[in-house]
Structure 1
Amino acid sequence: MELLDPALSSLRQEPVTLGLSHARVLRLLDSDSTAVAFAKIVDHSAPPHLADDLEGEAARLKWLSALGIPVAKVLAAGTDITQSWLVTQALPGRPASDPWPTSERAAVVDLLAAAARKLHDQPTNDVLTFDGSIPFLLSEIRERVSAGIVDRAWAAAGKSDTTAASALAELECLAAAIGKGSQSLCHGDFCLPNVLIAPAGIVSFVDVGRASLADPHSDLADMIRSLRSPMNPQFGPAYAEQFLDSYGRDRIDPERLRLHDLLESFFWRAP
């Protein structure tokens, strides 16, 4: 990797195994074993879209940073004949997915809701830099269904009650009935591990490779699934309801949440 700061090259590298990224992730540590930066690396033997995803994440980080959104600074991004990479500055805080003490969990959920509201209310004042609208997602879904990617992903997840093609017909009917909806600045993968909480309630965002202008219900649906997930047993359904209460029920359409749950199922990772 070619790093903008040569001093980073001397840091100790530690693999990060937590998470669902198909990239290799390294934590770069200083002499005190403090994380200074993180590196994502994609070998060119991997599917080509992974390198494109890495390039897209770098562009989104710069876009969000220019808007004043609390994301990591890009320290290096590049490619050579064997691999592509993205190196970002380490941010302070703990992932919201950490095993918080019972006495702190309600406050964590309120911070998540406040962070979502602030992000969604952020004025962008620019053209549609990154499109995450429902029509755009549907066009991607049609391509994935046609290529067989969705059926493979559903088979790997044990979902066999319907085919992707028949589910797509239901999805398109629901999307047409509900409409495009409002567009806001959205994280794109707003789940517990992708939100960092530092002392004094300072919140920042990581893994923003799907950030875009989109229906804010997409972020809300992501967080509700994350809070209810067995992977985060310290939370659960009651905290998901608290999240919706704290965000503001008057801003939420349950049918749009259901739509985005269906949309997301077409983007599960395929083997």
Structure 2
Amino acid sequence: MSIPAEPVAIPAQVSALARGAALTPVWRNGIGGLTFRTDDGRFIKWGPLDPEANMHDEAERMRWARRWITVPEVLEQGQDAEHEWLVTIALDARSAVDPRWAEDPGTAVRAVGEALRAMHDTLPVADCPWEWSVPTRIAIAERRGIEIPDAFRDAPEIDRLVVAHGDACMPNTLLAADGRWTAHVDLAALGTADRWADIAVASMSTEWNCGLGWEDALIEAYGVEPDRERLAYYRDLWNAT
């Protein structure tokens, strides 16, 4: 997953959704999906149809979460036999892995930790209609044909049940120009889970995006002491599924 460095071919569906607006590619994910920014204040996300964590689910979760936290407003969502797309209003913010923060990883890491804590403290568990529990994640992985070792079925006791982001990697927090977090994106897997399921992934992603030595700084910004057992379990589960 990265910001495209080479020229990107614009899919026909993206061109149609742009309706004449100029397009700038801003992200390519691991399965070939692309995100473009338009010059009229929108983002267009396009990629292969995913039956498990699709953009229809993402749009539904974004609309739900916007009742309590800041996420981009959904304008359009659709799919055909092979691809899916999502159009949202652009916010005045940049991803925590934007080049703007490459020379100031401490600010970005702190903002991501604080943003994740705010999400967990704000979204109401009782009102959330989705799960991101261990059994749910294992079931999804098995439907994809992934063999999950039995050891993963013995999860640590839940520390605190929250509405989890589901993909709390650093790119999915947006920062304002002053370095404060402003919004969350990529909510296709949002659902109830132990908070450590998110903390483990968010802190692990600091190594991918900032280099070694930032994991505990994110956890400190979140506001808890590192729980090494839960961190290890949920990182291994992430990598296995």
Scaled to the shorter chain, the TM-score interval is: 0.7 to 0.9
The match for 1:156 is none
* 1:109-188 matches, cutoff 5 A: 109-124=109-124, 126-144=126-144, 147=145, 150=146, 164=147, 168-173=149-154, 175=155, 178-188=156-166
Instruction: Give 1:261 shift.
Output: 0.9
Higher helix share: 1
- The yes-or-no answer on 1:49 pairing with 2:51 is yes
Closer, same or farther: CA 265–88 of 1 in aligned 2, 3 Å: same
| Percentage of identical aligned residues | 27
CA RMSD of aligned residues (A): 2.9
CA deviations over 1:134-180 (Å, ceiling 9, x no partner): 22223223434xx2xx3xxxxxxxxxxxxx45xx122224x1xx234
Match of 2:44 in 1: 39
- Counterparts of 1:85-96 in structure 2, within 5 Å, are 85-96=85-96
Equivalent runs, 1:53-68 vs 2, <5 Å? 53-66=54-67, 68=68
> Between Structure 1 and Structure 2, whose CA radius of gyration is higher?
1
Distance 1:236 1:23 in 2: 25
> Match for 2:217 among 239, 242, 250?
242
SS at match of 2:66: helix
In 2: Cα distance, 1:125 partner to 1:218 partner: 15
Contact 1:227–1:239 (8 Å) recurs in 2 = yes
Q: Equivalent residue of 2:51, what SS?
A: helix
| Residue 19 (structure 2) pairs with residue 9 (structure 1) | yes
TM-score by length of 2: 0.80
Question: 1:107 Cα shift?
Answer: 2.7
Count of residue pairs brought into register by the alignment: 227
Deviation at 1:78, TM superposition (A): 2.6
Q: Indicate if the aligned counterparts of 1:191 and 1:222 stay in contact, CA closer than 8 A.
A: yes
Sort the Cα spacing of 1:107 and 1:218 in 2 relative to 1 into closer, same or farther, 3 A: same
Tell me, yes or no, if the aligned pair for 1:58 and 1:86 is still in contact at 8 Å.
yes
Q: What amino acid sits opposite 1:186 in the alignment?
A: A
Is contact 1:135-1:180 (8 Å) kept?
no
Contact 2:162-2:195 at 8 Å conserved across structures:
yes
Separation in structure 2 between the aligned mates of residue 236 and residue 83 of structure 1, nearest angstrom: 34
Distance in 2 (alpha carbons) for counterparts of 1:180 and 1:140: 20
Do residues 23 (structure 1) and 33 (structure 2) align?
A: yes
Q: Aligned partners of 2:29 and 2:139: how far apart in 1?
A: 27
Unpaired runs of 5+ residues, structure 1, are 31-35, 151-163
Contact 1:197 1:203 in 2 (8 A): yes
Deviation at 1:12, TM superposition (A): 1.7
Matched residue, 1:73: 73
Deviations 1:31-56 (A, max 9, x none): xxxxx1111234xxx55627x60111
* C-alpha deviation, 1:75, in angstroms: 0.8
Local SS of the residue matching 1:14: strand
Q: Which residue of 1 aligns with 2:189?
A: 210
Distance 2:221 2:97 in 1: 18
User: 1:196 is matched with which residue?
Assistant: 174
Runs of 4+ aligned residues of structure 1 deviating over 4 Å after TM superposition are 80-83
TM-score normalised according to structure 1 size: 0.72
8 Å contact from structure 2 (residues 113, 219) kept in 1: yes
